[in-house]
Amino acid sequence: MRAVAVLACLGLLSACNSAPQSAPAAAAPVDVAQRVASRHLRRQLDAPPATLDPALSTDVATQRLLDDLFEGLTRPQADGAVVPAVALSWEHSEDGLSWTFHLDPAARWSNGDPLVAGDFVYAWRHVVDPATASQSAQQFAPIVNALQVTAGKLAPEQLGVRAIDSHTLQVRLVGPTPYLLYLLTNSYFFPLHQATLEKYGASWTRPGNLVSNGAFVLEEQRINGAIQLRRNAHYREAQAVQLERVTYFPVIDRSAATSRYLAGDVDVTDIFGLEDVDWLREQLGSQVKLEPYFGTALLGYHVGRAPFDSRALRLALSMSVDREVITGKLMHGLYLPAYNLVPPLGGYPQVLPDWAKLSQAGRHALARQWYAQAGYSQRHPLKVELSLPTGGTDTRRMAEAIAAMWRTNLGAEVTLGTQEWRVHQQNRRLSLYALFWDAWIADYPDPLTFLQMFQRGSGQNNGKYEQPRYEQLLDAATRAGNEAQRLRDYAQAEQQLNDDAPFLPIYFYQSRHLVRPYVKGWVGNVMDRNLSRDLHLDAGQGP
User: Residue 347 region, left (φ>0) first, then alpha (ψ -120 to 50), else beta?
Assistant: left
Contact 504, 399 (CB under 8 A): no
**C-alpha triplet 528, 392, 219: angle, nearest 5°:** 60
Taking each helix axis as running N to C, give the angle between helix 468-478 and helix 483-500, from 0 to 180 degrees, rounded to the nearest 10. 160
For the chain, the helix, strand and coil percentages under 3-state DSSP, each to the nearest 5: 35, 20, 45
Domains identified in the chain and CATH numbers: 47-240 (3.90.76.10)
Contact 471, 456 (CB under 8 A): yes
**CA–CA separation, 416 and 424 (whole Å):** 13
Strand 245-250 and strand 40-45: pairing? parallel
At residue 106, the pLDDT reads: 96
**CA–CA separation, 340 and 282 (whole Å):** 34
Burial 14-23 (b: 16+ CB within 10 A, else e): beeeebbeeb
484 contacts: CB under 8 Å, gap ≥ 6: none
Q: In degrees to the nearest 10, what's the CA dihedral of 265, 206, 114, 214? A: -20
Q: Which of 9, 41, 17, 68 lies closest to 518 in space, CA to CA? A: 41
Chunked mean pLDDT (size 10), the chain, 543 residues: 33 39 58 93 93 93 96 90 96 95 98 98 98 93 95 97 98 92 97 98 97 98 93 97 97 91 96 89 95 94 96 98 94 92 92 96 97 96 94 82 97 94 87 93 91 89 94 89 90 98 96 96 92 94 64
At residue 521, the pLDDT reads: 95
This prediction's pTM: 0.84
At residue 27, the pLDDT reads: 67
Strand 503-515 and strand 336-337: pairing? antiparallel
Q: Under DSSP, is residue 99 helix (H, G, I), strand (E, B) or coil? A: strand
